[in-house]
């Protein structure tokens, strides 16, 4: 079935432009409310959001849809995506909703849905909701006396902070460590600094003054330059950069050098494997992860399993095959011993625990392998994705022939933006750059 609304991570688009309108949000609330109203108990949905201006439009629209179907609404305000997933389970809610476009700029927004188990909905359930969004819902509306109610959960921040702190090894503290944390002017702007400070760290903050427009703007995991500079200027031991909804993280070592999600997965996998905690016999990553990670994991006697891009697909494979460590190069790190989705703050704490336990700097702890040269370029397009055009197919085939067995090419359409992502990696950086440039040029030519 062709999907009109849902992409790789919920529904996403430019705020107040179809499909990211109040009308669509209302219909999503009604459709999801109808599907998740099952049984005779009082039904509940948890709604969180990040700090975008448009959240004020989408939050009440969603709530109206749920209330019209007889569901009670619990507002938790600006909270990380993993916090919404956790609270959905903790409160025994029937559904969780996060209003966020993650790492996108402020003018975009999105709707992510979680089931009562705290996991993102399956493709099948999303398709079921899609089929009902444009259907006539009048007959399914609740009776006047059965309308839902709405309330705010006043201690939501405290609940999540305590949950995060409890993932840190008992008896271990962050005393003596100076941490720069960049919250991207997003959903974690209160909870991340508080959790780190309560664990004993000396915390230097950035990106903690949201105004509705500055989420992910020159800050966060998509623009780490200021965070890296602040690590050097403040003599910090580590920098932690979250994205707008705090489900992904990138870190910088004490020199201000960036460490990506692949290195973080390698660090956690090695540590957990040594402690006998790693399950599944390896790590689940995506097709975007560096070949260097694959070689390193194999060198530990483990396996690296790749899925399509999207943390939900990583999680699905982890659940089906018993893995407890997975993630994406971009910084979605999923540690299923604690969470049902990526949690940037908890992943950062895992790195900090390795530093605290070993007494070694992050430049040693967090760099487990030498990555192969990998180049990624994004090409914006209008209309249909030009991947099937003859010139593009020819350029890709030529690039594969040039790389032969020394590397690989991955080309895909973004699931959240009108972009073609062109990635290649191999042993020869100049060759890899030439291959990417030729493919990008072909895409630009046919897409105008």
Per-residue pLDDT of the chain (448 residues; tens, 9 = 90+): 567 899 878 999 999 999 999 999 999 999 999 999 988 899 999 999 999 999 999 999 999 999 999 999 999 999 999 999 999 999 999 999 999 999 999 999 999 999 999 999 998 999 999 999 988 888 789 999 999 999 999 999 999 999 999 999 999 999 999 999 999 999 999 999 999 999 999 999 999 999 999 999 999 999 999 999 999 999 999 999 999 999 999 999 999 999 999 999 999 999 999 999 999 999 999 999 999 999 999 999 999 999 998 888 999 999 999 999 999 999 999 999 999 999 999 999 999 999 999 999 999 999 999 999 999 999 988 778 888 889 999 999 999 999 988 889 999 888 767 889 999 999 899 999 999 999 999 999 888 7
Domains recognised in the chain with CATH numbers: 6-154 (3.40.120.10), 159-254 (3.40.120.10), 259-344 (3.40.120.10), 374-447 (3.30.310.50)
Which residue, among 52, 78, 10, 83, has the nearest Cα to 345 in the 3D structure?
Answer: 83
- Write down the pLDDT at residue 138: 80
Neighbours of 319 (CB within 10 A): 15
- Torsion (CA) 87, 90, 95, 100 in degrees, nearest 10: 10
- Measured between alpha carbons, how far is 215 from 59 in angstroms, rounded to an integer? 17
Q: Rounded to whole angstroms, what are the CA distances from 167 to 2, 13, 139, 291? A: 40, 34, 46, 30
- Measured between alpha carbons, how far is 177 from 167 in angstroms, rounded to an integer? 18
Structure tokens at 442: 């072909």
- Write down the pLDDT at residue 200: 97
- Measured between alpha carbons, how far is 261 from 294 in angstroms, rounded to an integer? 13
| 96 Cα distance to chain centroid | 16
- Write down the pLDDT at residue 136: 81
Q: List, as own/partner pairs, every contact residues 124-131 make where C-beta atoms lie below 8 angstroms and the sequence separation is at least 24, other chains included.
A: 125/35, 126/3, 126/6, 127/1, 127/3, 127/6, 128/35, 129/5, 129/6, 129/28, 129/31, 129/32, 129/35, 130/1, 130/3, 130/4, 130/5, 130/6
- Which residue do the tokens 């402690």 mark? 275
Helix (H, G, I), strand (E, B) or coil at 83: helix
- Write down the pLDDT at residue 38: 83
Q: Rounded to whole angstroms, what are the CA distances from 124 to 130, 314, 318? A: 10, 17, 18
Burial of residue 374, with CB atoms counted within 10 A of its CB: 0-12 exposed, 13-18 middle, 19 or more buried: buried
- Write down the pLDDT at residue 285: 97
| 355 Cα distance to chain centroid | 24
The conformational region for residue 276 under phi > 0 = left, psi -120 to 50 = alpha, else beta, is left
Q: Rounded to whole angstroms, what are the CA distances from 434 to 101, 185, 205, 396? A: 33, 37, 40, 12
The conformational region for residue 366 under phi > 0 = left, psi -120 to 50 = alpha, else beta, is alpha
- Write down the pLDDT at residue 414: 82
CB 182 within 8 A of CB 206: yes
- Measured between alpha carbons, how far is 431 from 437 in angstroms, rounded to an integer? 10
Segments of 258-352 assigned E as strands: 258-259, 282-286, 303-307, 325-327, 333-335
- Write down the pLDDT at residue 292: 93
CB 246 within 8 A of CB 82: yes
- Active site residues per annotation: 102
- Write down the pLDDT at residue 40: 83
- Write down the pLDDT at residue 2: 63
Structure tokens at 76: 């938790």
Neighbours of 342 (CB within 10 A): 32
- Write down the pLDDT at residue 406: 84
What SS3 string covers 353-374?
HHHHHHCCCHHHHCCCCCCCCE
Helix (H, G, I), strand (E, B) or coil at 312: helix
Cis-peptide, bond into residue 356, ω within 30° of zero? no
Q: Rounded to whole angstroms, what are the CA distances from 262 to 4, 172, 268, 295? A: 32, 25, 10, 12
Helix (H, G, I), strand (E, B) or coil at 390: helix
- pTM score: 0.90
């Amino acid at each position: 079935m062709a999907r009109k609304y849902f992409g790789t991570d919920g529904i996403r688009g430019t705020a107040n432009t179809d499909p990211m309108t109040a009308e669509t949000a209302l219909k999503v609330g009604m459709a999801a409310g109808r599907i998740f109203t099952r049984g005779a108990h009082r039904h509940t949905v948890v709604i969180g959001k990040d700090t975008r201006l448009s959240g004020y439009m989408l939050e009440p629209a969603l709530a109206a849809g749920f209330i019209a179907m007889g569901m009670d609404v619990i507002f938790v305000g600006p909270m990380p995506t993993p916090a919404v997933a956790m609270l959905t389970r903790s409160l025994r809610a029937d559904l969780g909703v996060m209003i966020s476009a993650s790492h996108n700029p402020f003018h975009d927004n999105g709707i992510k849905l979680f089931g009562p188990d705290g996991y993102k909905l399956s493709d099948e359930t999303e398709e079921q909701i899609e089929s009902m969004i444009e259907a006539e819902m009048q007959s399914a509306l609740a009776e006047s006396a059965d309308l839902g109610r709405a309330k705010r959960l006043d201690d939501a921040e405290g609940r999540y902070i305590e949950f995060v702190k409890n993932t840190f090894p008992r008896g271990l503290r962050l005393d003596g460590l100076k941490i720069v944390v960049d919250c991207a002017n997003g959903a974690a702007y209160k909870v991340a600094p508080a959790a780190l400070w309560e664990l004993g760290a000396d915390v230097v903050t950035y990106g903690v003054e949201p105004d509705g427009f500055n989420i992910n703007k020159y800050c966060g995991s998509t623009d780490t330059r200021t965070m890296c500079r602040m690590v050097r200027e403040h003599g910090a031991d580590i920098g932690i950069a979250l994205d707008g909804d705090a489900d992904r993280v990138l870190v910088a070592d004490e020199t201000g050098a960036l460490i990506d999600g692949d290195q973080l997965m390698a660090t956690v996998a090695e540590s957990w494997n040594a402690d006998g905690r790693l399950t599944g016999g390896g790590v689940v990553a995506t097709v975007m992860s560096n070949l260097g990670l694959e070689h390193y994991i194999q060198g530990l006697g483990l396996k690296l399993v790749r899925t399509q891009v999207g943390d939900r697909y990583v999680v699905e494979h982890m659940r089906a095959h018993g893995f407890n460590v997975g993630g994406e190069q971009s910084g979605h790190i999923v540690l299923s011993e604690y969470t049902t989705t990526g949690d940037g703050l908890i992943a950062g704490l895992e790195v900090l625990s390795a530093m605290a336990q070993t007494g070694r700097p992050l430049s040693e702890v967090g760099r487990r392998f030498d990555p192969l040269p990998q180049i990624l370029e994004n090409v914006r397009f209008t209309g249909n994705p030009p991947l099937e055009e003859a010139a593009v197919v020819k350029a890709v085939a030529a690039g594969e022939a040039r790389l032969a067995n020394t590397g690989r090419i991955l080309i895909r359409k973004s699931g959240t933006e009108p972009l073609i992502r062109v990635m290649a990696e191999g042993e020869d950086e100049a060759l890899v750059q030439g291959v990417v440039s030729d493919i990008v040029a072909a895409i630009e030519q046919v897409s105008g």
